Amino acid sequence: MSINVVKKIDDIVKVKHVLISVSDKDGLDTFIPGLLDINPELKIFSTGGTFGRINEILGSKAESCLMQVSDYTGQPETQGGLVKTLDFKIYLGLLTETYNDSHQDDLKRAEAVPIDMVVVNLYPFKETISKPGVTIEQARGNIDIGGPCMIRASAKNFIRVASVVNPADYNMILSQMKTESGCTTLDLRFNLAKKAFNHTAVYDRTIADFLAGGPNDMVKECY
């Protein structure tokens, strides 16, 4: 198998397109306006309840900068919201490399844009299984699929994309972007990638440990 080796990257990357899909919506009321203050031409792609919350925050301003992921991809949310972001245009935008001509050709062909920042946190699996009497079906319903995929893709491509998983980092990110005229630095993106992979690792470990502790009879009783 041949491995693509990137030989040229940018330290500074302008944040023009942001994908936001969060379970924990704390801090969005300051983070979203902060991003737009830094770059008034910013475009935000979002899903479901997150889209609704950002729409509330921005009011009339939302029309010019906020778009449903389903409108961007041309694919409606399906399976009761289970399938929202697992789409070619999304991952092309996350994984594309700036100086890869083939990637740039693919972007044009798909009428896609490079996504410069992903703001994602996951379904509350740990909180769900901490509730008394939780069933395995309730736990299973809180296993996030699209979120970890977006986090991993954006963190893998830290050479260009900022992967944001913790609302506690919002103020720090805004502060650095103000200093860098609306851009992220390689140091920032790399540090965020380390947090992102740790985030998904802990999440998957929690799921694995929960399932390992459940006897097969518990599964049968749910169905």
With beta carbons less than 8 A apart as the criterion, state whether 43 and 15 touch.
no
What is the overall mean pLDDT for the chain? 91
C-alpha closest to that of 18 among 149, 163, 144, 188: 163
The DSSP output letter for 83 is B
Count of domains for the chain: 1
For residue 23, what is the domain's CATH number?
3.40.50.1380
Q: How many C-beta neighbours within 10 Å does residue 33 have?
A: 14
pLDDT of residue 44: 98
pLDDT of residue 162: 98
Query: Is residue 5 a part of any domain in this protein?
Result: no
Q: How far apart are CA 134 and CA 128, in angstroms?
A: 7
Query: Is residue 2 a part of any domain in this protein?
Result: no
Residue 193, pLDDT > 90, answer yes
Between residues 149 and 214, which one has the greater pLDDT?
Answer: 149
Q: Which amino acid is at 98?
A: T
Domain that holds residue 17: 13-221
pLDDT of residue 81: 61
Q: How far apart are CA 155 and CA 166, in angstroms?
A: 13
- pLDDT band at 217; cut points 50, 70, 90: low
Residue 129, pLDDT > 90, answer no
Q: How far apart are CA 51 and CA 192, in angstroms?
A: 23
Query: Is residue 180 a part of any domain in this protein?
Result: yes
**Helix or strand run (H / E) with residue 178:** helix 170-179
With beta carbons less than 8 A apart as the criterion, state whether 191 and 164 touch.
no
- pLDDT band at 215; cut points 50, 70, 90: low
Alpha carbon of residue 174 to chain centroid: 17
What sign does the dihedral 85-86-88-91 (CA atoms) show? positive
Query: Is residue 217 a part of any domain in this protein?
Result: yes
pLDDT in tens, 10-51: 999 999 999 999 999 999 999 999 999 999 999 999 988 999
Query: Is residue 42 a part of any domain in this protein?
Result: yes
